[in-house]
Structure 1
Amino acid sequence: MDRYELRRQDYSLSEDQTELQAVYAKFFKARCPIDTVRAAEATGFDKSLWEQLCATGATAMALPESAGGDGAGLVELALVAEELGRAIAPVPWIEHSTAARLLARLDALPGENSGDIAAGRRIVALDPNPAPRPGPRLIPAGAVADEIVLRDGDEIVRLAFESRPTRVENIGRLPMAWVDPAGAGVRSALASGPDAVAEYGRALDEWRVLTAAALIGLLDETLRIAAEFATTRHTLGVPIGSLQGISHPLADIAVVVHGGRNLARRAAWFQEYEPQAQPELPAAAFVFVTGEAPKAATMAVQTQGGLGVSAESAASAYLVRARGWSLAGGDPAVAAREIAEIVARRSTAPTAVPA
């Protein structure tokens, strides 16, 4: 039997993984209440929360031990991302982690800044757009990053600016900024050629998996908020949650959460251990969750009626991020086309004939 045959279908967590997720659930619950999220909306970034998160080792865990990290796998990172999404935490941990891991794979971390990147004192960002065009591009963490890693043709480059790009308003409340590769104060080539492009593609897939996991956490919390309201608000003497018009759509959200969580964890496992076995999984998890998250979050808001759409409502804060985070890496339809291309190549590949 293949040593991984059962694991491919088993979504249960180990005791260590369960404890890891519980630790970060407790951290974000204590350090990132909705008031903290609201206070950071003008910038999309809470420096104090970021420093506290880095102090837990969340940035170091993403890196291999050879690069001064703890060598955590993508499944473990997905668990942290889920709790980050549950709290809609205003920190660029997903972008930093995926960019730092890419730098490590390209042997571009050694140097005076390697320790600062591992500790999160120096923030690196990744351009998650799978189809970049020449000229300025929107980077989700571009307004707070000290370094930005992106693809320029068949070359992977690192950019630094004398002053950080100006944040632009966006529905996801991210520290997003327009970044012009030609206007960088410092531009250094890290690698080029097919292997470098493939490594960048791997970083994009990791970003997709972690973003999908974060959106699952976001939806899970949105469902909790809506269900709590539905069980405490009454009409005609009964909780509104007992009405099919409320209970059935909420059940649909629960199905999305559980199915999306399994898909994201499956994608994380394959991406970590057998990336060539099912290369479409990261894009599939991303496309599924980004397609369902805005619809599910909208239903959760509608459950609360007029209260749900008020500026003070926590549900409304989750709704705008469900929409904005889903588009932070560009049009998810690009990822959908990638899935189609992978499946098409597989279906047309010649089948080996036994001798």
Structure 2
Amino acid sequence: MDFGFSEQQRDVQNLARQILSENVSAEKLSQYDDYKAERFDRELWQKLAEAGLLGVAVSEEYGGMGFGFFELGLLVEEAGRTIAPLPLVSHLISAALPIQQFGSTAQKQQWLPGVASGELMLTAALCEAHNDDPAQPYLTTASADGDGLLLNGEKTNVPFAHIANRILLAARTNDGIAVVLLDPKAAGVSLTAQQVTSYEPQYVLHLDNVRIGAGDILAAGSDGSAAMQWIAERSTVALCAHQLGASDKAMRMSASYTAERKQFGVLISTFQAVGHRAANCFIDVECLRLNTYQAISRLDGGLDATNEVQIAKIWAGDVGHRVSYAAQHLHGGTGIDRDYPLWRYCTWLRHNEMALGSSAKTLAKLGKRIAAGEAFCS
């Protein structure tokens, strides 16, 4: 049995790596530091659209390539490798993919062609204050209003909300969860800018009796709960893929540095302690790779992957933490020099570690599933 990538997966990976590596550099990324400019490369966004990569998992009938979640995961991994200033996870995975999976024909026709062409921007509001479980909203509620809904509450850390055409979010109702596509310009919606260590533009989303028409309801009731679990798992694994790319790059930067840096007249890569530390990073990154690909593969095949998603997220948090620390130590003072690019990777590794649940929180969830006989039991 061949466990390698298919030809189409290799093509997507190589194309994404070529475009991103050629168009993202430390010099370009520096212009976004300290919010000097909005962290969004519109020119690169359009290049990805022209190459078809924004539509890699969009059905061909809506202008996409028609590939699956695995190919999309490979694209996100390459974005992590360059920490590209692009909202790929929030736009393609947390918002566009659910529209393709759960949307009506009218909703798909309205949004998916613009997603593939790069003309429209979607995002998702997955977090609330003190609640990083997208599938269980507590602070955002929805009540019936004719054939639509009235939304109240607040979401935090919403990427690119200020330029989004629609924001996917979940709200608690009397009979389950409603998943809706919110117009950020609707009456009762207000945005407050947040500052985060990655410099990605994020916002607090305030909702005050915001009306959602029937055409913008993606799922509701028990269907809404299932949809949000579906969205949460794919968004979580996408973070793992981004973490994989960033961790792999930080490890390779450290290997290159230690192969050139001399101490006492010899290369520090020849020091046993340095070699052991670098080898541990390599093992960590490969373990993250295997667990991430396992989760992506099962989700791509439509299989239950709750255990695999949680395991991958635990590894993503722990590996990002350990690789970040090791890379800093192996670089010495250079690692924290803001004229050297490593520090940006470290901030993203920390961001991905904590987003949608830390390793400790995710490990506790997995432990509860095991104790309840819901994991690893026949």
Other-structure match for 1:105: 101
| Aligned partner of 1:137 among 139, 143, 155 | 155
Alignment of 1:200-219 (within 5 A): 200-219=228-247
Segments of 4+ moved more than 6 angstroms: 348-351
Structure 1 residues 195 and 14 mapped into 2: Cα distance closer, same or farther (>3 Å)? same
Shift of 1:67: 4.3
Other-structure match for 1:336: 363
TM-score by length of 2: 0.83
Other-structure match for 2:125: 127
Shift of 1:298: 2.1
Task: State which drifts further: 278-287 or 111-120.
Answer: 111-120
| 8 Å contact kept, 1:264–1:285 | yes
Alignment of 1:296-307 (within 5 A): 296-307=323-334
Structure 2 residue runs of 5 or longer lacking an equivalent are 128-132, 140-152
Give the secondary structure class of the aligned counterpart of 2:123. Answer: strand
After superposition, the C-alpha distances for 1:169-223 in whole angstroms (9 at most, x for unaligned) are: 1012222111123375866432201122212211111111121111111111111
| 8 Å contact kept, 1:160–1:185 | no
The amino acid of 1:307's aligned partner reads T
The amino acid of 1:133's aligned partner reads Y
Instruction: Determine whether 1:94 maps to 2:62.
Output: no
Other-structure match for 1:19: 11
Structure 1 residues 279 and 330 mapped into 2: Cα distance closer, same or farther (>3 Å)? closer
Q: Distance in 1 between matches of 2:375 and 2:276?
A: 41
Shift of 1:110: 3.1
Count, aligned residues: 342
The amino acid of 2:184's aligned partner reads F
What is the RMSD computed on CA atoms of the aligned residues?
2.4
Q: Distance in 2 between matches of 1:348 and 1:232?
A: 47
Q: Distance in 2 between matches of 1:67 and 1:344?
A: 44
Structure 1 residues 47 and 185 mapped into 2: Cα distance closer, same or farther (>3 Å)? farther
| Aligned partner of 2:225 among 192, 197, 203 | 197
Instruction: Determine whether 1:147 maps to 2:166.
Output: yes
Structure 1 residues 329 and 183 mapped into 2: Cα distance closer, same or farther (>3 Å)? farther
Q: Which one has the bigger strand percentage?
A: 2
Q: Distance in 2 between matches of 1:227 and 1:350?
A: 41
Structure 1 residues 14 and 114 mapped into 2: Cα distance closer, same or farther (>3 Å)? closer
| 8 Å contact kept, 1:208–1:286 | yes
Task: State which drifts further: 91-100 or 241-250.
Answer: 241-250
Other-structure match for 1:157: 180
After superposition, the C-alpha distances for 1:87-117 in whole angstroms (9 at most, x for unaligned) are: 0001001111111110122224334444212
Shift of 1:144: 3.8
TM-score by length of 1: 0.88
Alignment of 1:1-355 (within 5 A): 10=3, 12-41=4-33, 42=35, 43-98=38-93, 99-108=95-104, 109-129=107-127, 130=133, 131-134=136-139, 135-138=153-156, 139-153=158-172, 154-162=177-185, 165-182=191-208, 188-276=216-304, 278-346=305-373
Q: Which has the higher contact order (CA 8 A, sep 6+)?
A: 1
Structure 1 residue runs of 5 or longer lacking an equivalent are 1-5
Q: Distance in 2 between matches of 1:257 and 1:183?
A: 46
Shift of 1:36: 1.8
The amino acid of 2:65's aligned partner reads D
Give the secondary structure class of the aligned counterpart of 1:177. Answer: strand
